[in-house]
Amino acid sequence: MDAKAGGFDNVSAAPAALTPAQVRLVLFALAMGGFAIGTTEFASMSLLPYFASTFGITEPMAGHAISTYALGVVVGAPLIAVLAAKWARRKLLLVLMVCFAIANVLTAFSPTYGMMVFFRFLSGLPHGAYFGVAMLVAASMVPPNARAQAASRVLIGLTIATIIGVPAATWMGQALGWRVGFGIVGVLAALTVLLVWMFVPADNQVEGASMTRELGALKRPQVWLTLAIGAIGFGGMFAVYSYLSSTLMEVTHVEPYVVPIVLVFFGLGMTIGTFVCAWLADRALMATTGGLLVWSAFSLALFPFTVGNIYAVTLVVFMIGCGGGLGVALQTRLMDVAEDAQTLAAALNHSAFNTANAIGPWLGGLAIANGYGWSSTGFVGAALAVGGLAFWAISIATDPNGGRHVAHHQPAAGE
């Protein structure tokens, strides 16, 4: 189906112009990109012991490849959002996924650890901008009081990746070599390019879009506070997840084949958490956000006490995964507080989460390297979740609206 198939010319048409079937195809195409991104982001953590062995480095040092990917997201999301402010959204999504595919294939063929780190940085550059633009396209198709649920349909691709893509990539990495795990992501990204080209309708640039307007988001304190909640509060999940494979093998003493099974439970938690939190966020946004941070702090604090038993630690890993619903809540909050600078704010949300993806593994690695043990990442994670909760409290206290849901119009592309 080409861009004009099915009786619609572009996303600038009112949501009512799209049939439910057409909307589902658009969301499926966008979610496939999330699936590819989620697979590479989380599989790099579960494959960490294997590429560390290949390059003859310690696992905490190998964690730098994860942090470098996150740095790519942090740099790329705002940079691309600003420089491509006048681009049509469909065109931008296609270019981002092509670049993502190439960078992941290059990662798979990295001859040295230094080259791998460089290609991981390149792989991270399109991540935030893709999710930001994709979620804006999804939100433009629904009423304001359903935006969180629309955004969750895009993010669900990432959460399903943690159920299917990551365990599969981990299994293939164990059986065929870690390079295959990254190579398959390149294939998934190429499939996304095809699906976006087929199903996401052609569009024009958003009316009035400019670099200056997008940069206006940076003048708003509530934008910065919302980003701080994600950058700090989400770090706890990454502190544990980055070293989960090693913790399970070194402390819980499971066989390697058990690791992907535990990762499935993390993915199930993340998927359920995303669906439930999206529903709650459309009804009580900031209360949902605060509740998720409390839940995360509690779950992460339990982790060190359960690593000795595979059943107990699997349950806690599931609980930690449920905290992943924070992403949808904060994305919706940014739609409220960013006003007309939607693209940059949406992309910055993923910069914030990947700042967390850099901070969490770094602090967790420090704790391990200083002799506190693999399970100490749980205490590090709980402290970070509490830090996010502090920024949440400041945000509510300084918000003229008291943190209430104040929806702003989501312009469809070309509107």
| Residue 414 located in a structural domain | no
More confident residue, 409 or 244: 244
Is pLDDT of 407 > 60?
Answer: no
Taking only the tens place, the pLDDT of each residue in 21-50 is: 888 888 899 999 999 998 888 788 778 888
| Residue 236 located in a structural domain | yes
Regarding pTM above 0.75, the answer is no
pLDDT for res 36: 93
**Which residue segment(s) compose the domain that 276 sits in?**
13-398
pLDDT band at 206 (very low <50, low <70, confident <90, very high): low
Taking only the tens place, the pLDDT of each residue in 85-143 is: 778 888 999 999 999 999 999 999 999 999 999 999 999 999 988 988 888 888 777 66
| Residue 410 located in a structural domain | no
Is 217 in contact with 338 (CB distance < 8 Å)?
yes
pLDDT for res 316: 95
| Residue 411 located in a structural domain | no
Share of the chain above pLDDT 90, in %: 34
Instruction: Say how many domains are in the chain.
Output: 1
| Residue 172 located in a structural domain | yes
| Residue 392 located in a structural domain | yes
| Residue 158 located in a structural domain | yes
pLDDT for res 11: 36
- Domain CATH for 157: 1.20.1250.20
| Residue 407 located in a structural domain | no
